[in-house]
Structure 1
Amino acid sequence: MVGVKTNFQYYSNSSTTRWTDTLLLALPSETTVPSDITNSVPPELAESIANELDIAISYKARFQQSKAAISVARNCSSTIVPITALPTEILTRIFRLVVGSQRCHAAGERIDRKNITFPAHPVRLSHVCSRWRQVALDAPGLWTHIDFPPFPRDQQLMTRMDVYMGRSRQSLLDVHVVEEYPSNPSSNVNPIYTHLIEFLQPIFTRTRSLHIELDFNDRLFGIIGSPAPSLSFCSALLSYCLAGCVSGTLTQLDVRVEGVSNVRGLMESIDNPENNRSVILALPKQALEDLLFRIPILRLNGPIPPLSSGAYHGLVELRLGPFVRASISELQLVAMLKSSPGLRILEFGMARTHQLRTLQIDRIRGFFARSNVTRLHGLIFDGYPQVAELLTLAPRMRDLDLEEFRDRSQDGGVEALDNLAPNISLNSLTLRRCLQLEMDELGRFLERLQVRVLILQYCSFRGSGRSMIEQDVLRNELSALCPIVQFLPNEPEPVNKWCWLD
């Protein structure tokens, strides 16, 4: 039990207390102390009044201390605050899940220095109470995401970075570098490199994942008239970052370039570049190959290693963004896939120099038989029988996106779904650019597959009389068939959330 010992009784019968009691009675009803009271303060009480004021002030401090002690006692009570019953190990695990759920700043968007924000969950968790703070500070793994803000560096963000680096202790780090090319062509870019080396070089040896975002001013070509400045800027920045990383410690590399296209070709060593338009890295070829060879996760939407590089060997995830300015032949793609038999995620946006030959249906069946396909985007399906065949090949399908689906009732219609295994169902169905679908057929489709979420974009439907159904009527009818119905007439692509940046 927390308490405060008081000495008010000492003055209870004194003249000082009687006078202050009179003053207290007057204060609630007066905005100022009446002059007849202030002028009647006996001189002999002055010292006693001063002493009593000091005692009253000391009580205020004691009450604040008691309040803090009681708050700590309350927070430590599992009866009042049930979460305190959790062991520290479980609470730490929960903290890690919370921190891991927060994506880094505005991924997939252009850099906005004025509104740039970085993950703050570790800080918020450490501010809840004294125990949570201690748990958070004792878990260096919560502080391993290091964000390096763009130049000129915001001092608050730099302080935040220093705090995170200190609290991460000797843990491996996830480093995120955000940099922006100066819009003024006469700007000196050397301070950018100087700051980067000064602050990040000591921790690159502990970097397990490196995410680099470079933004080039859209007017760069018009102002400068040559792609050389952007190439040299990108080359220097990537060289500084990669040169400090350790082969085997760095296991994930993300590079994203915005603004200009000439830095989205190849990244090559300075030893023997094959293309004078490449991003040339100031690293020996063997050192660069050793570093890239042992990185199992590559996410590149900017310059990429040459297709002959060992970087494409032994990958578990490969994402080459749609704006990579390089092409690949069918044989190169096949060789790349064969060199990574453990590849689990492939996002491929590069242009192919030759079309892949058409596969026989037996080979397609074989692919689905040995794969665990849960999400699929299909273009131009002719009727429900084809959808039924697809679901037979991929019975674990949970999210299906159909673009330009054609309802060909003469091919058998939705009755083809009756032959599916009873455990086959869908969580979500997305229909895009599907015109004049039969409403009754779609209703039976949704009911048979127990679809929970229906997303529509640029679709139209016919009723039983072949007339088109208005959207308000359509919304009411579909809501009766499916728990969640979304109309996205103006959205670019509802399946973009499946793409490489997520």
Structure 2
Amino acid sequence: MIQQSSTSMVEEVRSSVDEWKAARALLSTAVQSYLSACNSLAAACTRPARTLSECDTVENTLVLVDAELDAMSSEIQSLGASQLSMSTLRNRSSRLTRINVLPPEILRHIFRLSTTECVRDARAKGCYNALSRVDMYWRQVSLDTPELWTHIDVSPTTATRSLYELSRTLLERSKGEPVHLHVYEPQQTLFGGITSEGEVYQLTKFLSPYIPRVVGINLETETQSARLVHSVMRLWSKIGTAKITDFSAKLLPSQFCDHLSIPSGCGLPEVISSTRPRTLHLKDIQIDWESSFCRNLFDFRLQSCGDFGIDLAPKSLEKMLLKSPKLSVLKLHEVAVTKGRLLDEEISPVTLESLRVLNLVKLDLEPLQLVLSLIHQPNPLARLSVGLTFYDELTDEYRAFFSRCHVSTLYLESPAEHLSLPCLPSGLSHLIIFQSDLSQPPFIHAPLADSQPRAIVYVTLVSCVVTLEGLVSLVAETGAQVLNLDCCLTDRLMDLEGTVNKVCDETRSELVEVYPDLVCSVSDVDTTAGMACRTIFDD
């Protein structure tokens, strides 16, 4: 019986493929014939018409062509669908698609390395849930991998609750695994205006059963009201949650920064009350900086955009760093790190051997001075990337900071019009300079004792004004082996036609004549825009 069934399948497959090959040959012939007919018809109908009869004939022909176009579009779509169907069928082949040879447990491990999709991330648009849509084999492996479904997006804007249904489906597929919750509130609902009380209630009601499973919380709102954010926090405080490893909250800039109350966990079991995240990202939000919530951090990012900045006392920051010895990322944006009434309160450098990224670009002079005095990174293996603004008044502070820290990559901004570098760290491998005028060399004004030959492998200039003389001097002063000129100009002024003078290949060629071994590239794109020492948040 089995042998007969096998024979029947073989005959059916062979018969079907013979039929497909014959149809494919007919289609190929028909396509060539059709293309030839199209060319002939186009040539005939575009010849100059000399008589009324010729004009009428052409018009009647064009009407006939128009009548066939809709049918042709439908046939083309059908062919496209059949092509997709054949491609999907082809993907079932273990000979042609080698990844299908892998057993489910190996494929599952590969899937876990994929990027977490987010329906609110424009970069992930159209890619959501992609792994489960390749073929039946991949779909089953995806559904059997609960870690792929643990990012839950919820928004109070969809009247049809389609996003709630999607979130519920993901929660079911996560099979009890800890989940990362992303609550997003757009500027306006589908009905206009801010989120209503009813929508907030529906959202918190939906979340209530799942809050105990949450280990990561990302709260975002594009409204001036923080009501939704506070509602989720109250829900967290009321129900309790598992150990939080990642916490992010971002509000719109307003006249003041909201103060967020972090659940203390009092009276709850230890597993529930362990609200000590490894990742803490805050935008325009003030919390109790000396609470246990700010201990044992791996990644701390704080941004202030409102009229009244976020206050972070130097002593509080010092305690936070002391309690987070494995801190890897520290980013502070327009934060008011200033001494209060206790002006004589001493702070000392904190050793952070795991620190890899330090972004202080948007700090004012006094906060930057205080934060620099707190950082000590003696570990060269961490390859520290630093973003700074160079103020002339802080030369001694920069020099002391560079002596305490092994800096591998340095991104610099400066309020000065012309580039001037009073000091640079030794052992620097990549120097990035943003929006400076390099027309007045020399640029590095280090004391004589520090003026040893430098060997900075990579130098990148972003949106700078450059001259050939300045570039020649910069390469000599830095010892650059690779020079990238991103969005740079040779003159800050436009010409009479309103055109800016960009750096061209001629400038590059003249520079390479001076330094034949130099690798120099010219780009209209800021190639370092996404570097961690330049950005605050990853989105």
1:202 corresponds to 2:217 = no
Provide the residue aligned with 1:94 in structure 2: 110
2:175 alignment partner, SS class:
coil
Distance 1:70 1:436, change over 3 A: closer
Provide the residue aligned with 1:322 in structure 2: 304
1:377 corresponds to 2:412 = yes
Q: Which amino acid aligns with 2:482?
A: V
1:99 alignment partner, SS class:
coil
Distance 1:285 1:377, change over 3 A: farther
Distance 1:70 1:189, change over 3 A: closer
Q: TM-score, normalised by structure 2?
A: 0.59
Provide the residue aligned with 2:504 in structure 1: 474
Q: Which runs of 5+ in 2 are unaligned?
A: 1-5, 16-84, 340-365, 371-393, 494-498, 513-518
Match of 2:245 among 251, 258, 276: 251
Alignment of 1:155-234 (within 5 A): 155-180=161-186, 189-216=196-223, 230=225, 232-234=227-229
Distance between the aligned counterparts of 1:471 and 1:288, measured in 2? 66
Provide the residue aligned with 2:134 in structure 1: 128
Distance 1:479 1:200, change over 3 A: farther
Give the alignment's Cα RMSD to 1 decimal. 4.7
Aligned length: 389
Are the aligned partners of 2:311 and 2:338 in contact in 1 as well (CA < 8 Å)? yes
Q: TM-score, normalised by structure 1?
A: 0.63
Distance between the aligned counterparts of 2:111 and 2:410, measured in 1? 30
Provide the residue aligned with 1:400 in structure 2: 432
Alignment of 1:346-385 (within 5 A): 346-349=330-333, 350-354=335-339, 355=366, 356=369, 359=396, 363-369=400-406, 373-379=408-414
Match of 2:453 among 396, 399, 419: 419
Q: Using the TM superposition, give the Cα deviation of residue 205 of structure 1 relative to its aligned residue in structure 2, in angstroms.
A: 1.2
Q: Using the TM superposition, give the Cα deviation of residue 148 of structure 1 relative to its aligned residue in structure 2, in angstroms.
A: 0.5
Larger radius of gyration: 1
Q: Using the TM superposition, give the Cα deviation of residue 182 of structure 1 relative to its aligned residue in structure 2, in angstroms.
A: 6.1
Q: Which runs of 5+ in 1 are unaligned?
A: 9-68, 108-116, 218-229, 270-280, 463-468
Alignment of 1:250-329 (within 5 A): 250-258=244-252, 260-262=254-256, 264-268=257-261, 293-323=275-305, 325-329=309-313
Q: Deviations over 1:173-208 (max 9, x none)?
A: 111111247689998833223212232111111111
Distance 1:231 1:460, change over 3 A: same
Q: Using the TM superposition, give the Cα deviation of residue 131 of structure 1 relative to its aligned residue in structure 2, in angstroms.
A: 1.2
Q: Using the TM superposition, give the Cα deviation of residue 137 of structure 1 relative to its aligned residue in structure 2, in angstroms.
A: 1.1
Q: Using the TM superposition, give the Cα deviation of residue 93 of structure 1 relative to its aligned residue in structure 2, in angstroms.
A: 3.1
1:351 alignment partner, SS class:
coil
Distance between the aligned counterparts of 1:407 and 1:288, measured in 2? 64
Match of 2:120 among 105, 121, 140: 105
Distance between the aligned counterparts of 2:157 and 2:457, measured in 1? 51
1:376 alignment partner, SS class:
strand
Distance between the aligned counterparts of 1:4 and 1:292, measured in 2? 65
Are the aligned partners of 2:152 and 2:180 in contact in 1 as well (CA < 8 Å)? yes
Match of 2:472 among 406, 430, 441: 441
Q: Deviations over 1:402-423 (max 9, x none)?
A: 4435565457899x999235xx
1:393 alignment partner, SS class:
coil
Q: Deviations over 1:223-247 (max 9, x none)?
A: xxxxxxx355543243224544425
Distance 1:434 1:378, change over 3 A: same
Q: Which amino acid aligns with 1:450?
A: Q
1:333 corresponds to 2:293 = no
Are the aligned partners of 1:401 and 1:431 in contact in 2 as well (CA < 8 Å)? yes
Q: Deviations over 1:293-324 (max 9, x none)?
A: 51121101132312332322221111111326
Distance between the aligned counterparts of 2:211 and 2:535, measured in 1? 28
Q: Using the TM superposition, give the Cα deviation of residue 213 of structure 1 relative to its aligned residue in structure 2, in angstroms.
A: 0.9
